[in-house]
Each structure stands twice: as structure tokens, then as C-alpha cells.
Amino acid sequence: MQVVILAGGRGTRLGEHAQTIPKPMVAIGERPNLEHQILLAQRHGFTNVLLLVSHLSERIESHFGGGERFGVKISYCAEDPPLGTAGALRHASQLLEDRFLVLYGDIFIDCDLARLWAHHVDSRALATLVVHPNDHPDDSDLVETDADGRISAIYPKPRPENQYLPNSVNAGVAVIEREILAMIPPGQHLDLARDIFPALARNGRLRAYHSAEYFKDFGTPDRLAHVRSDFESGKTARLSRSHARPAVFLDRDGVINKDVSHLSNPAQMELIAGAAESIRRLNQAGYLVIVVTNQPVVARGECSLDALRLIHSKMETLLGRERAWIDALYFCPHHPDKGFAGEVPELKFDCMCRKPKTGMFDQAVRDWNVSLAGSYCVGDSRRDIVAARRMGIVPVGVRTGSACLDCDALDLPDWLADDLRGAVEIILASSGSAQS
């Protein structure tokens, strides 16, 4: 398998950190970032490495040579003048295999690349982008996906303040089919994210691979310091999917947002005070944050799936503006009772996902390699508490929303907090972090 690394960056904003070296050669720990990427690729079976170089390329070639020291075969393709990320691929077309992995050399990555590759092969897309949430979505390019995982639109920064979108950021990692080279005229300065991927999305040929692993650019001194700190602390490795991680499962209405009873319009979505700060603390502690919510308003015909998507996009946008994110969201659109005016008949049945059943939890465990040991569920009703007990995770109730008033003596939560802020205090006091 072939990995192509875009390694021509100058690192102008890094100042003294990249004055005499190309940006991908900036050290993280005792190795250049580019070496970290090559070793990661090699561990996942990528032994054919193509480096697309430009600025100070001799520094890269003298360090890596033919790749023998790293267990790979390295080839080089130099561009002068720079042609952009897409133009560089077109320039190197004679060296590209039919399918290849693309990494941006100025991003620190710890990701299961073999799993990504397999996901792409199964999808039969022309390209698959890794997407992930981050703590600064307002200054990131965001992608929107449909129910089948196809990327339906890409929204470059900047965007209108009242545009609500999922916190799904292009991570700078992609698997690409050689066929896309036909979309790139030779000799032109073109960008994958700006010029090529949007066209693929319009044609339905671009897929998303959602990940909660470590992807962070180090394009400024502050971000470089952050990446170096994360690496030294072991955080970058701990977030790898190869390590099962505990999660905090959150109910939505009455826990994250104010419960307005049958919320069906994005205008009704309003975060509870302190919710974003609390979720940010869970993010920083290394927990997966997964929302599991019953939404019978869909089955009752009170809220369309499109409206529900906008509601969740607004929630993610509001969280992102306070540097918080959720890693995944699962909703049950079903309802067992019939007889509502305007109901959706095909959604009116006794499903396996509606809490207190555990279908949404079970799916999340499979999707995200969740460690149930050390996981929690925060909710405001008996449904949440019973589901948590069935999963063998710790239930924490809150007095917001329905306030767990429907819990009887057999279904009381282990703790009852005033709100999500108090619940997170309990979780962090009990376990410290997801790595404790």
C-alpha cells in the first residue's frame, strides 16, 4: 500500500521553529513530525512512501534517504514552483498507485490507518476524508454528511454566524483513487480541499470516515507547544483507536439543552448554563462524549429528519463556540404507540434502540471501541438510569429537565447532581480522567 505525504510546507507562521527546516521536519519529541508519520504508516502496512517536497527538500532527502532505516521504500517528487495539494499530486502522477493514502506533513497524527483504508475500500468512493470534531470549528473547514456517510457539502471558513453546522472537520488525511487525477489539469495550482473535494461531494463520490483519534496541526507556536505537550504526556497515543476508551454517554433534552417538551425547531435549541464548559472538561480529560437521545417527535410527525439535523447542528455549533465537542450522536426516531395525527407509520414500532433499551449504546460501543469499565451515563429520567444499569456503566442523574422524578427506589442513580456541571464534577472526582 502507498502513502503520499505532502511535505512542501514552509512553516512561515512558526517563526524560529522552522527558519532552517521545512515545516514537516519540525520536531515532536525526539523525531521530526515527518518521521512520526512514516513510522505510523509503516506500522499499518504502508511500505511504499512518496514524499512530495519543495521548500528545503534537501533537508528531507538527507534525513530519510531511500527509507531503509524505517522499513519502507521512499521516493521523492519535487515541485517548483509549488502547485498546491492537488497540483502536487497531478505533478507526481507517474509515481502514484491506483489507490493511495494522503497525509498532510504539517499535522501530527495517531490513527488506525489500516482501518481507514478498509473503510474506504468497502465504500467504493473516489475519496474518503477523515473527519473529526475539534475545539475551534469556527475557523475550520466543515463537512456535512448524509445518513449513508456520503459528504454532501463542504463549508469553507469563514461562514455566517447564524449558519449552524456539525462539528466535522477535515483532518488532513484521505484515501484517494487515482481516477481523480483526471479532474486536475497539469501545471495548475489547485487545492484538494478547495477545488477537488467539493466537486466530488457534488457528484456523491466523497465519503467521510469519522474518528476520535489524534489529529492536530502545529502551524503556530501555540499549537506546536500544545502538540508537543500532548505527545510528551502520552495523550496522542491514548486517543488511538487501538486503545479502548471509556465514554460519558449524555442524554440530550434536560441534560445538555433546556427541555421544552417535544423540541422540534432549531430556534428552541438552547444550551443549559454550564453545559458546554462541562463537556469541554470531559473532552480535556480524554473521555469519549457520546449523546444518546430518544426523539419520538420524528415518529409522531412533529419534527422531520431534516429539522432534527439542523437542531443537532445548532447544538454542535453552540458547543464549539465554547471549545467543546461531542464525539458521536445517536438518536432513536421511533415510538411504539400509534394514533398521533401526522405520524410516520414506518417509524411506529417497538424498536431495540429506544431507551431504556440499549441499542444506541451497543452501536456506540462497536463504533468507537468504548471501554465500559470507567464509563458513565448522565440523564434526567428513569430511561437513562435503567439503560446505564443494563450496560453495566455508572448512572448519574441530574435535577435539570425531568430531574429523575420518575425513578423509583429500584432505579435510583448512583449519584444525583444539580446539573451537568455537577455530574462532571462527580465523574472527575471519582476517576480523575479517562486514563486513571
Residue 31: partners with Cβ closer than 8 Å, 6 or more residues away: 39
- Asked if pLDDT for residue 104 goes beyond 60, the answer is yes
CA distance 403 to 160: 36
- The answer to whether 306 is a known catalytic residue is no
Q: What is the CATH number of domain 246-431?
A: 3.40.50.1000
Catalytic residue among 230, 253, 259, 384: 253
The tens digit of pLDDT for each residue in 342-393 reads 899 999 999 999 999 999 999 999 999 999 999 999 999 999 999 999 999 9
- The pLDDT, as a whole number, for residue 218 is 87
Mind listing the pLDDT tens digit for each residue in 210-225? 999 999 988 888 889 9
Three cell numbers, residue 171: 483532518
Q: Please, which pLDDT band fits residue 331 given cuts at 50, 70 and 90? A: very high
Contact between residue 221 and residue 94 where contact means Cβ atoms under 8 Å apart: no
Flag whether pLDDT at 194 surpasses 70.
yes
Catalytic pick among 106, 112, 141, 251: 251
Task: Look at residue 95 and tell me whether its pLDDT is greater than 60.
Answer: yes
The confidence band for 88, taking pLDDT boundaries of 50, 70 and 90, is very high
Q: Quote the CA–CA distance of 395 and 386 in Å, as a whole number.
A: 8
The pLDDT-based confidence of 17 (bands split at 50, 70, 90) is: low
Q: Is the pLDDT of residue 31 over 70?
A: yes
Domain spans of the chain, in order of start: 2-233, 246-431
Least confident window among 111-115, 249-253, 402-406, 407-411: 407-411
Confidence tier at 9 by pLDDT (50, 70, 90): confident
What is the Cα 289 distance to its own chain's centre? 11
pLDDT of residue 341: 85
Mean pLDDT of 70-87: 93
Query: What is the DSSP annotation of 283-319?
Result: HHHT-EEEEEEE-TTTTTTSS-HHHHHHHHHHHHHHH
Q: What is the mean pLDDT of residues 261-285?
A: 97
**CATH number belonging to domain 2-233:** 3.90.550.10
Q: Express each pLDDT in 238-253 by its tens digit.
A: 999 989 999 999 999 9
Characterize the bridge pairing of strands 48-53 and 415-417.
unpaired
pLDDT at 170 > cutoff 60: yes
pLDDT mean over 248-263: 96
Residue 222 is among the residues annotated as catalytic for this protein: no
Mean pLDDT, rounded, of the chain: 94
**Residue range 31-52: mean pLDDT, rounded:** 97
Q: Tally the C-alpha atoms within 13 A of residue 318's C-alpha that lie toward its C-beta.
A: 19
Domains 2-233 and 246-431 belong to one CATH topology:
no
Stated pTM of the model? 0.93
